Chains A and B, each alone.
Chain A
Amino acid sequence: MELAYHTDEQNGVTLVEFQLHNPTRTAREVRIESTLDAPILPPRHRGYPVSGWDDEGWCGTIAAGADVSLGFASRATGGEPPVEVVRAEPVDTRRTERSAEDVVQALGDPRPPQAATNSRSQPSSVSTVGDAGTDQQGVQQPSRSVPPILAAWFDRLETRIADGDDINIGAVRAVANRAGDLTDAYCQ
């Protein structure tokens, strides 16, 4: 991978421009990282970092024989060279086609956690948040808490419900009822 760069310092900010050339006959997945002593300020599109950028550099695929020109800013000064190629591996183009499994892996499994369906699990078998209490007769009562993973999932649902202003009230009620049933089940 051939790298050329140019830097420009202005008011304590370094602007870095660089060009990458892939001279080989195969596409390469390339990782570029800044050597500057501060996080980079990546290019943004409508407020969000452009795809491929993170706080430390850029990652992307450069086709065989292709050139890519990129740039970023950093509040650090100095650094020579300002960027380095940390990886340039041949890409098996047969593997570059994304699969549905890749999408699930990248975005997260959308299914409810296993704990949400174990309605008869024993409280002692799960790690719960919150404390158990005692009733008026001093009998130990189970906690009204649910496992953290389930609580997190409920939080997500709650956010969606709170966001909604025209969602189906029947569906919301059903979810709320299920949440109550599950909580009760964990307390049995």
Chain B
Amino acid sequence: MILAVVGGKGGVGKSTVALNLAAELDAVLVDADLTMADQPTAPGPTLHDVLANDVDPCAAVRTGGLIDVLPCGRSLRGARDTEPARLPTVLNQIETRFQNVVVDTPAGMDADAGLPLFAADSCIIVTNAEPPAVAAAIRTRELARELDAGLLRVALNKAQPNSPIQRIREALGAPVVAIDADHSVATAQEEGLPVRCVAPRSPVTDQFDTLAAAVHSCRS
């Protein structure tokens, strides 16, 4: 399964949701933001090298840690030297070897956002309750439809008790899983860890578990 974590607007929490979903699903986390990567990285080959056809995709996956990760490079030259259209093939190769792949997708409606959707079996749209974010999420949903990536759930990040969950559900046409605003999320993300490792009893840990369970149920 290839699951794209998307959302048209930057800063809504895609990377946080992607990292935590990868942990819950025991999936490889692929940081597909070619120019503004922000998932944990480590010395060695990155997605830039893979997309430049210099490195085998599976060999570039960092295993042995809490989460298997294919990080993305941080240099402009590295991004420039890639062949982005290779991404679907790369993701398929990783899926064949590791089974589950979660792709952290950049914001916007450019090809770097579209290619993961093109490769994915399904997607999770991440948004917050702010109108610009919801509007961007609607555009992303249209792109997902166009590229045949089924929308499994909407992750409403930084949800508050009065968040308009029903309105967002109606606007995006998919069930909403609320992810509470909780300091444990930021703490975990700074450490490059899933919330479960930092705050196992946090409601947010249960909410990511619920989101992962929804992905499982849609697959079975």
Q: Are B38 and A171 within 8 A (Cβ)?
A: yes
Q: Mark A95-121, 1 if CB is under 8 A from B, else 0.
A: 000111101101111111010110000
A157 to B108, alpha carbons, bound, how many Å? 10
Q: Are A100 and B87 within 8 A (Cβ)?
A: yes
Contacting residues of chain B (83-121) with chain A, CB-CB under 8 angstroms: 84-89, 106-115, 118-119
Q: Could you say which of B16, B114, B115, B142 contacts A48, with CB atoms under 8 Å apart?
A: B142
Q: Are B115 and A103 within 8 A (Cβ)?
A: yes
Q: Does A80 contact B (CB under 8 A)?
A: no
Q: Are B146 and A165 within 8 A (Cβ)?
A: no
Q: Does B80 contact A (CB under 8 A)?
A: yes
Q: Does A175 contact B (CB under 8 A)?
A: yes
Q: Which residues of A contact B146 (CB under 8 A)?
A: 51
CB nearest to B132 among chain A residues: A163
Q: Using A103-B118, A110-B110 as known contacts, say yes or no to A117 and B85 having CB atoms under 8 A apart.
A: no
Q: Does B46 contact A (CB under 8 A)?
A: no
Q: Using A46-B171, A165-B11, A166-B11 as known contacts, say yes or no to A178 and B76 having CB atoms under 8 A apart.
A: yes
Q: Does A160 contact B (CB under 8 A)?
A: yes
Q: Are A111 and B85 within 8 A (Cβ)?
A: no
A43 to B142, alpha carbons, bound, how many Å? 15
Q: Does A180 contact B (CB under 8 A)?
A: no
Interface magnitude class on chain B: 35 or more
Q: Which residues of B contact A174 (CB under 8 A)?
A: 74
Q: Does A161 contact B (CB under 8 A)?
A: yes
A103 to B114, alpha carbons, bound, how many Å? 7
The secondary-structure label for the interface of chain B is helix
Q: Using A100-B87, A164-B11 as known contacts, say yes or no to A110 and B36 having CB atoms under 8 A apart.
A: no
Q: Does B37 contact A (CB under 8 A)?
A: yes
Q: Are B82 and A167 within 8 A (Cβ)?
A: no
Q: Mark A9-53, 1 if CB is under 8 A from B, else 0.
A: 000000000000000000000000000000000000011100100
A104 to B146, alpha carbons, bound, how many Å? 14
Distance (whole angstroms) from the CB of A11 to the closest CB of chain B: 30
A117 to B113, alpha carbons, bound, how many Å? 22
A99 to B85, alpha carbons, bound, how many Å? 9
A35 to B77, alpha carbons, bound, how many Å? 50
Distance (whole angstroms) from the CB of A161 to the closest CB of chain B: 7
Q: Are A117 and B80 within 8 A (Cβ)?
A: yes
Q: Which residues of A contact B16 (CB under 8 A)?
A: 166
Q: Are B11 and A167 within 8 A (Cβ)?
A: yes
Q: Which residues of A contact B207 (CB under 8 A)?
A: none
A154 to B73, alpha carbons, bound, how many Å? 18
Q: Does A140 contact B (CB under 8 A)?
A: no
Q: Are B37 and A100 within 8 A (Cβ)?
A: no
Q: Mark B165-200, 1 if CB is under 8 A from A, else 0.
A: 000000100000000000000100100000000000
Q: Which residues of A contact B138 (CB under 8 A)?
A: 46-48
- Selected A-B contacts with CB under 8 Å, 28 pairs: A46-B138, A47-B138, A48-B142, A51-B142, A98-B147, A100-B115, A103-B85, A103-B111, A104-B115, A107-B114, A110-B34, A111-B34, A111-B35, A112-B80, A116-B76, A117-B76, A157-B35, A163-B10, A163-B11, A166-B13, A166-B16, A166-B158, A167-B11, A167-B36, A168-B15, A171-B36, A171-B74, A178-B76
Q: Which residues of B contact A (CB under 8 A)?
A: 9-11, 13, 15-16, 34-38, 74, 76-77, 79-80, 82, 84-89, 106-115, 118-119, 132, 138-139, 142, 146-147, 158, 171, 186, 189
Q: Which residues of A contact B (CB under 8 A)?
A: 46-48, 51, 98-101, 103-104, 106-112, 114, 116-117, 156-157, 159-161, 163-168, 170-171, 174-175, 178, 182
